[in-house]
Amino acid sequence: MNRLEKAIEIEKILGSFYPHPPIPLDHSNPFTLLVAVLLSAQTTDVRVNLVTPDLFADAKTPQDMKKLSEKEIYGFIKTCGLAPRKAKAIYQLSRILIEEHGGEVPADFESLEALPGVGHKTASVVMAQSFGIPAFPVDTHIHRLATRWGLTNGKSVEKTEVDLKKIFPREKWNDLHLQIIFFGREHCPALRHDLSGCPICSWAATAKRIREEAKKNAPASRKK
């Protein structure tokens, strides 16, 4: 089975599991989504959703966020990973949005990726989930599953994004990004996963990959 054939079957399975995938980060507008996605780097969505209600109660627009100091922003997000760096980025990008974009989040990749703390993955999430523009945000989790399923050679997240965009329909990218994330969390974890019993890995992963992961997960006494 080639990559395109796998993609067709995987799309069907993911669609049956998650026909209407929700956006996991709580937000009320493009700005709050941008901030939430920025905060989610090296932090779980659950943790982000715990800290953002208080932050967004005080500041859900760039104008309100700029009224806070970096120290005050840090106070809201201090339990997130890389909090000092993120507080600085949130303050600076709020200022830039006001000064250069009329206080609005721009709906183009170049402008988004020019903002402090915003990389291609974050920009892709905002474009897809706030503006409905087809994008395929690839993080390490999607990269891991795509590699496990034989949809990419696994060299980098950048290469994986290119490979996935080639084999999945453009109009499905936004949903697939979320569907793969949820499937990974609920059915295809990184550690101690039995590929032979997985709804996708059992047939999409190579026999070699299944053997390698089974050996890695085996108790030490059985690896000898």
Domain 20-189 listed as CATH 3.30.70.1140: no
Interatomic CA distance for residues 19 and 141, integer angstroms: 20
Mean pLDDT of 147-173: 95
The per-residue pLDDT for 216 is 87
pLDDT number for residue 53: 98
Where do runs of H (alpha helix) occur along 78-191? 83-101, 109-113, 120-131, 140-148, 157-167, 173-187
Mean per-residue pLDDT, 118-126: 97
Tell me the two tokens of residue 67.
């009224």
For the stretch 177-201, pLDDT in tens is: 999 999 999 999 999 999 999 999 9
pLDDT at res. 220: 54
Task: Determine the average pLDDT of the residues in 63-83.
Answer: 98
Average predicted confidence (pLDDT) for the chain: 95
Q: What's the pLDDT at 191?
A: 92
221 pLDDT more than 60: no
List phi, psi (to 5°) of 198: -85, 140
Report the catalytic residues: 121, 139
State yes or no: pLDDT of 59 exceeds 80.
yes
Residue 18 gets which letter from DSSP?
-
Average pLDDT for residues 74-82, to the nearest whole number?
Answer: 97
pLDDT grade for 224, boundaries at 50, 70 and 90: very low
The percent of residues in the chain predicted with pLDDT above 70, rounded, is: 98
Sign of the alpha-carbon dihedral angle for 126, 130, 136, 139: positive
pLDDT, one tens digit per residue, over 83-93 is 999 999 999 99
Q: Read off the pLDDT band of 154 (50, 70, 90).
A: confident
Could you tell me the pLDDT band of residue 118, with boundaries at 50, 70 and 90? Answer: very high
